[in-house]
Amino acid sequence: MRRFKRNCTNAEGGKCLGRSSHLLNKVRSRKRSVAPTTTNDTLIDVGWGSYWMGLITIGTPGQTFDVDIDTGSSDLWIPGVQCGTPCGANHTFNSSLSSTYTALNKPFSIQYGDGSNVAGIFGNDTVCIGGICIANQTFAIATSANGMSTQVNDGLLGMGYQNIATGGEMPVVWSMYLAGQLSLPIFAFWVAPVSTGSDTGELILGGYDTTKYTGYFAYASVTTKGYWEFIADSVTLTIGSTTTTIATSINAMLDTGTTLGMIASSAYANEIYSMIGATYNAAIGWYTINCHTQPLTAFPNITVTIGGVPFTLTPPMYLRIVGNPNNYYCLCLLSTGDFYDANRQPIWILGDFFMRRFYSVFDM
């Protein structure tokens, strides 16, 4: 399981800057060049919920890639034939096989919060997701990488704003939106709440799936455009009738590129660890809990309130049982990390193990 893969293009003092998240924002006008549509890209569960891959094609004829869908970055990059084993993956892009490829001779590099990094060159070609294609889309071809050799995904599709794209290029989903190819200027992300090793999720461009949720959406405006960033009202822990407030009015983001349920600054995370009885296990690099001798009901619920609506994780949602029926413990899917947004303000990351419990719609 990976812990997080945040874009560290804007770094200061060794700390990542500038990510954001939101659910729905204000609809803006767009130019229609073709009849708008909606497409559904099936997502594949990798590593029992570690991350989620979607299918895209690049070039003419299309070359197929299974990319990690990441709302916490904005670049599209795929492995080139030169990268080989360091890029991991199962598919590589051969520019000589595409009749629509244009070389840009512009270098590309990106570093992520888990220490991995990729370098290569930018190019232009036709990129398709589902039935929607965009011509002359800028993307990166990786020629070298570190920390990627065990990955099964063929690169990464960033879904953030243009101003955090490392080369200043327009991200794919935004290109589709600005070309008027989406029925609505939104995309929606859903994955199954419990992994079975084979279940899937979906990324919908231009719409959302009403069969995947009940109730109504909570709205949170984007506060800093770059990553998808919003203000969460509060974070609380509840055991029985006792509720403890950990933080109020926090900067937060929804990040499909982070496996963990939540990453908070050390002060807040340590308070949560204390309340749930988590201790750091240096041998495995995780905070763990003794859930063998006490039931999961003994641990608190963790609630993040957004737009006045509580989003609650029960203990089975933020703990993962490891071991066998006679000897096991629980990994804590909450982590500590001092991250900052583009305004140098501390920011909480709400990752896959949070998002998989709720349906998320991103309004461009």
**Average pLDDT, stretch 124-144?**
97
One domain for residues 243 and 329: yes
One domain for residues 188 and 95: yes
Is there a domain that residue 39 lies in? no
The pLDDT assigned to 115 comes to 85
Q: How far apart are CA 288 and CA 277, in angstroms?
A: 8
The pLDDT assigned to 252 comes to 98
Type of residue found at 201: G
Is the pLDDT at 167 greater than 90, yes or no? yes
Give the residues across from 7 on adjacent strands: 112
Q: How far apart are CA 26 and CA 218, in angstroms?
A: 14
Q: How far apart are CA 329 and CA 308, in angstroms?
A: 35
As a whole-number percent, the residues of the chain with pLDDT over 90 amount to 74
Please tell me which residue in 68, 70, 75, 363 is annotated as part of the active site: 70
One domain for residues 246 and 316: yes
Query: Among 22, 19, 21, which residue's Cα sits nearest to residue 6?
Result: 19
Q: Please, are residues 149 and 88 in contact by the beta-carbon 8 Å criterion? A: yes
Q: What are the tens digits of pLDDT across the range 205-215? A: 999 999 999 99
Query: Among 14, 112, 125, which residue's Cα sits nearest to residue 65?
Result: 125
Please tell me which residue in 255, 341, 352, 363 is annotated as part of the active site: 255
One domain for residues 289 and 192: no
Active site residue 70: yes
What's the domain range around 252?
211-363
Is there a domain that residue 12 lies in? no
Is the pLDDT at 159 greater than 80, yes or no? yes
Angle at 40 between CA 36 and CA 41, to 5 degrees: 125
Which single residue is written with the structure tokens 């497409």?
39
The pLDDT assigned to 117 comes to 95
Q: What are the tens digits of pLDDT across the range 78-112? A: 999 999 899 988 899 999 999 999 999 899 999 98
CATH code at position 130: 2.40.70.10
Instruction: Please tell me what DSSP assigns to residue 256.
Output: T
Please provide the average confidence, as pLDDT, over all residues in the chain.
89
One domain for residues 350 and 230: yes
Tokens of 243: 């509720």
Lowest mean pLDDT among 66-75, 141-150, 191-200, 309-318: 191-200
Q: How far apart are CA 42 and CA 202, in angstroms?
A: 5
Q: What are the tens digits of pLDDT across the range 322-344? A: 999 888 999 999 999 998 888 88
Active site residue 352: no
Q: What are the tens digits of pLDDT across the range 284-302? A: 999 999 999 888 889 999 9
Under the banding of pLDDT at 50, 70 and 90, the label for residue 13 is very low
The pLDDT assigned to 315 comes to 96
One domain for residues 86 and 225: no
Is the pLDDT at 33 greater than 70, yes or no? no
Domain count, the chain: 2
Q: How far apart are CA 362 and CA 230, in angstroms?
A: 12
**Average pLDDT, stretch 121-142?**
97
Among 210, 227, 255, identify where a domain stops: 210
**Average pLDDT, stretch 42-57?**
91
Among 210, 243, 268, identify where a domain stops: 210
Distance between terminal CA atoms of the chain? 30
As a whole-number percent, the residues of the chain with pLDDT over 70 amount to 89
Q: Please, are residues 126 and 150 in contact by the beta-carbon 8 Å criterion? A: no
The pLDDT assigned to 336 comes to 94
Specify the pairing of strand 262-264 against strand 334-336: parallel
One domain for residues 173 and 312: no
Under the banding of pLDDT at 50, 70 and 90, the label for residue 7 is low
Is the pLDDT at 9 greater than 90, yes or no? no
